[in-house]
Structure formats: structure tokens, C-alpha cells
Amino acid sequence: MKIRKGDNVLVISGKDRGRKGKVERILRVEGRVLVEGINVKTRHARGKRQGEKGQIIQVIAPLQVSNLKLVCPHCGKATRVAVKGEGKSKIRVCKMCQKAI
């Protein structure tokens, strides 16, 4: 996966298309990520005990990585990433400005 925690990403499909946010969590196994403030779903939770009020909870739903593009911190453009090097010396390079991300 080319996206990491803390990256800024642009949503390229779905209802939040065109919005940007910061990656909060990576769900590697599912190939999905949680992005701050994006794809927020509202859930209504009923009170568990009698007399207790129901609550409205906002939950961030994960997004498919394929629906996201990394925003380069150097040139600020939504870009594709090239990976250079091997093993621990692996670096990500912005395809727009060629700088390491």
C-alpha cells in the first residue's frame, strides 16, 4: 500500500469526491483507510436502559485505497507515487515533482 498514516489524500470517487483529508488509520488487510472527516456516517444508537436517551453517533467509514489519491506535500497536487529502492531504503517519490515524500 502506497498510502501511509498521516498522509493527505484527495477523494476521487464517491459522495465525498473532491474533498481532502488526513489519513487516520490504515486497514491493511481490507485495503482500506480511514480519513479524518471524510465518509462520516451518522448512526442512531438507542438508549440501552429505560429512560436513557438515544444518541446520534458519527462514525468514519473506511474508504477503498483505489478511491484516493495522495496529495504531495511538496507540490500540493494529487499525484501518483513511484516507489524507489529496496527494503528499508524504500522511498516514495511524487510523479509530479519527483521529490521524495
In which residue are the cell numbers 446520534 written? 56
Choose which of 22, 60, 62, 96 interacts with Zn ion (CB under 5 A). Answer: 96
Please name the residues in contact with 84: beta carbons below 8 A apart, sequence gap of 6 or more. 90, 91, 92, 93
- Least distance (Å) between residue 87 CB and Zn ion: 24
Under the binding rule (CB under 5 A), the answer on residue 72 touching Zn ion is yes
78 sits near Zn ion (criterion: CB under 5 A): no
Residue whose C-alpha is closest to residue 99's, from 84, 25, 26: 84
Q: Which amino acid is at 101?
A: I
Residues in region 12-31 near Zn ion by CB under 5 A: none
Nearer to Zn ion, 17 or 99 (CB): 99
